[in-house]
């Protein structure tokens, strides 16, 4: 299955082979291993403002990585074949993270404040229908 995903996303310049299934599996395993390590004792003591920012970027990154990040990496590989797939992917990730930061700062923060304020007001405001049913029950 991983081989099909790699073949589907790999934009291979003429004369080159597609990325090795084993290399892709190794990279995926290393990423999953790093994720598993984050819950172990040494990593639980890691703190800092950058972690808050990284956490805030996860959802915007999730939203844009597939629709914009993958086509950007493919476009870079096609436009600059000498660049190679790994630098193209790295540039795409950096660009997608930058776009995620913009989405977070320009969309999520302002709208989040408004939505939070509105939801809080609505939760404090008594429901007229509930009030009527309580008075009728007496």
pLDDT digit string, tens, across residues 100-132: 999 999 999 899 888 888 888 877 766 666 655
How far is it, in rounded angstroms, from Cα 63 to Cα 57?
10
pLDDT above 90 (res 31)? no
Residue 64's nearest CA partner among 30, 104, 24, 28 is: 104
For all residues of the chain together, what is the average pLDDT? 80
Q: The tokens of 36 are what?
A: 């598993």
pLDDT digit string, tens, across residues 69-89: 888 988 888 898 888 888 888
Q: 3-state class of 47 per DSSP?
A: coil
What are the domain boundaries of the chain? 1-46, 48-138
pLDDT above 70 (res 96)? yes
Contact 91, 56 (CB under 8 A): no
């Amino acid at each position: 299955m991983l081989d099909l995903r790699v073949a589907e996303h790999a934009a291979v310049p003429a004369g080159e082979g597609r990325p090795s299934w084993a290399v892709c599996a190794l990279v995926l395993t290393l990423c999953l291993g790093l994720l598993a390590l984050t819950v172990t004792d040494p990593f639980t003591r890691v703190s800092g403002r950058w972690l808050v920012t990284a956490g805030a970027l996860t959802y915007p990154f999730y939203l844009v990585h597939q629709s914009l990040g993958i086509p950007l990496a493919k476009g870079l590989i096609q436009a600059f074949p000498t660049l190679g797939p790994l630098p193209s992917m790295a540039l795409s990730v950096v660009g997608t993270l930058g776009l995620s930061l913009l989405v977070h700062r320009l969309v999520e923060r302002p709208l989040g404040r408004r939505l939070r304020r509105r939801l809080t007001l609505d939760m404090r405001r008594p429901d007229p229908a509930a009030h009527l049913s309580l008075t009728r029950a007496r």
